[in-house]
Structure formats: C-alpha cells, structure tokens
C-alpha cells in the first residue's frame, strides 16, 4: 500500500490537536477509523509517528520534519485546487481578541476593494501557522525570532491588569506598573504581551515567580484561580466577561503594539492590498502608532 492523502491529513490532524478524538471530529470521521488510518501510515513508513499514553498523544520527535513537510504538501495542494477553481481568498490568522472596530473596517474595506474573501481562523500560535502556510497574514501583538517574517506596526493598545476576583487588588480602581513588578506573573508563552522582561532595569524584580501557559483561555483561568496577575491590551476589559477575573487600568503601563505579520520572501499583491486596507483603517480611526516595516 502507498501513502495517500488521507494518511497525511489524518497524521497532521492528530499532530495539531494532540488528540485522536478532536482530530476525528475535525475530519468528520469516527475515532476508530482515524486510528486505523494513522496505524496504516505508521506501517507504510515503518516508524512510530506518535508517543501514546493513556492521557496524551504527542508527536514523536523523529516525526517532526515529516509532519512539517506533510503540512506544506497539503497546503500546496489546496493552493493548486484553489487556483483551478478560481477561489479567491486571503487567510487571516489571530490568537485571541481580534480587535473589533479595526478588524471589521479592514476586512470590509478590503473585500469591497478587491472582491477577495477574508477567511478568519484562530491559532494558539499564529506565527507558526504563517510559517507553515496555513495563513497568509497574521495579527500579532508580539514578534517572533528569525528572518522570514515582515511585521507592520498598526497601533498602540493600552494595557490593563488582570487579577483574580479573590485577590486583594480586585477592589482597586487603578494600579501602577511598578506595583505589579514583584507579584507572581501568569504568562502566555506563545502570544502573551507581558513577560518579566516587560519591566526594565531597576524596575525588574529578581527571582520572580512565573506561571506559564500556552493560550489565552488557560491564561484567563489561571488568573481566575489566583495563581498570579497578568497584563493585557485593554480590549480584554471590553470583550471578556469572566465572573472571577477583574480588569483594572494601569495608567502608566507601556502600551503593546498591534501588528500584521506576513512572509518576507513571498511577494503577494493580495497581501499587500490587505496591509494597505489595514493601515487605511488605522488612519481613519486616528489610532496612536509608531514603527513601520520590520523584518524578523
């Protein structure tokens, strides 16, 4: 038996979700059928692709390059099919709290001007999705490493503190940036905007306790459980309604920067048109901004 597309799709789905159950739902097949397909792929390749326990499914280290190549192959195939069927779409990725008024104005203006549809998708790590070809443009608040991505600064976002409703700080009307420097800090290591080095020089606490997670939902629940404090763009205070989390202004906190990210080595007129639409929306709203093109 030869390796088929269904094998690649099955392996990639399980690798992305870390779960046969969730991957089966995404692919629209039963879990036993998905398990059989992955086992077939392992027999064909003569290697174990996943480390399985009773609680977790993790991609085997030896299979990392294979899965990355499989994702690129599936993406290239989707692109080829899309070109044959004249499908016109730009894929926009984000991780959490896509800015409402700016995003809606940008998408609507871009679609009117170009006739291209914007497909919006959430990823825990949108920069990884960008590198793997799953999206064309990513909305980010934090830059990654490497030289393959260009960043366009859009506008500054004020920060607010996030504290548990059971915290002594919950009744405060506002906090200072300095007050937060020694408190245990909850950090989203993939896309979070506030990390220990956000405090500089003499204002940075030594041996600070840091509680790590990898997505916004986990971050929010750790705050609610009073494992530490956090700081996020003020949009969270407007958009997130959690009975055990309080958002408190930090007037003197340094702002975060909302940015667009796209692959440097892939010239694309559609991406350029989307970036232009995004900047026009920023200018119409008179948002505070700085910076320009940055290659990282």
Asked if the model's pLDDT at residue 274 lies above 80, the reply is yes
Asked if the model's pLDDT at residue 80 lies above 80, the reply is no
Q: What is the pLDDT of residues 158-180, one digit of tens each?
A: 999 999 999 999 999 999 999 99
**What integer is the mean pLDDT of 231-258?**
96
Q: What is the pLDDT of residues 22-48, one digit of tens each?
A: 988 888 899 999 999 999 999 999 999
- DSSP, collapsed to helix, strand or coil, labels residue 183 as coil
Q: How confident is the model at residue 295 (pLDDT cuts 50, 70, 90)?
A: very low
Q: In whole angstroms, what is the distance from residue 216 CA to residue 245 CA?
A: 13
Which tokens go with 26?
């995404």
pLDDT for residue 296: 44
CATH 3.40.190.10 for domain 159-254: yes
Name the β-bridge partners of 171.
none
Q: What CATH number has the domain spanning 5-69?
A: 1.10.10.10
Q: What is the pLDDT of residues 176-226, one digit of tens each?
A: 999 999 899 999 999 999 999 899 875 666 788 999 999 999 999 999 999
* Domain ranges for the chain: 5-69, 87-156+257-286, 159-254
Q: In whole angstroms, what is the distance from residue 58 CA to residue 19 CA?
A: 8
Higher per-residue confidence, 147 vs 143: 143
Give the global pTM: 0.66
CATH class assigned to 87-156+257-286: alpha beta
Asked if the model's pLDDT at residue 266 lies above 80, the reply is no
| Dihedral sign computed on CA atoms, order 18, 20, 22, 26 | positive
Domains 87-156+257-286 and 159-254 share a fold: yes
């Amino acid at each position: 038996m030869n390796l088929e597309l269904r094998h690649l799709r099955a392996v990639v789905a399980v690798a992305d979700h870390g779960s046969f159950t969730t991957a089966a739902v995404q692919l629209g097949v039963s879990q036993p059928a998905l398990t059989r397909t992955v086992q077939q792929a392992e027999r064909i390749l003569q290697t174990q692709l996943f480390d399985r326990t009773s609680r977790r499914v993790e991609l085997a280290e030896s299979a990392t390059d294979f899965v990355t190549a499989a994702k690129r192959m599936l993406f290239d195939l989707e692109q080829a099919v899309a070109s044959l069927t004249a499908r016109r779409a730009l894929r926009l990725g984000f991780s959490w709290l896509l800015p409402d008024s700016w995003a809606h104005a940008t998408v609507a203006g871009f679609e009117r001007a170009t006739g291209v549809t914007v497909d919006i998708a959430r990823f825990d790590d949108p920069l990884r999705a960008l590198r793997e070809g799953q999206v064309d443009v990513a909305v980010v608040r934090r830059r990654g490493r490497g030289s393959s991505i260009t960043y366009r600064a859009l506008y500054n976002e004020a920060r607010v503190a996030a504290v548990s409703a059971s915290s002594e700080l919950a009744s405060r009307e506002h906090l200072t940036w300095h007050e937060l420097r020694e408190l245990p800090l909850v950090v989203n290591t993939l896309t979070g905007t506030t990390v220990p080095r956000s405090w500089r020089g003499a204002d940075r606490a030594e041996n600070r306790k840091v509680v790590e997670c990898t997505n916004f939902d986990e971050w929010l629940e750790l705050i609610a459980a009073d494992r530490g404090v956090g700081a996020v763009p003020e949009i969270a205070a407007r958009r997130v309604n959690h009975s055990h989390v309080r958002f408190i202004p930090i007037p003197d906190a340094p702002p975060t920067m909302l940015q667009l990210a796209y692959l440097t080595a892939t010239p694309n007129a559609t991406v350029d048109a989307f970036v232009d639409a995004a900047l026009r929306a920023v200018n119409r709203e008179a948002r505070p901004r700085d910076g320009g093109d940055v290659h990282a």
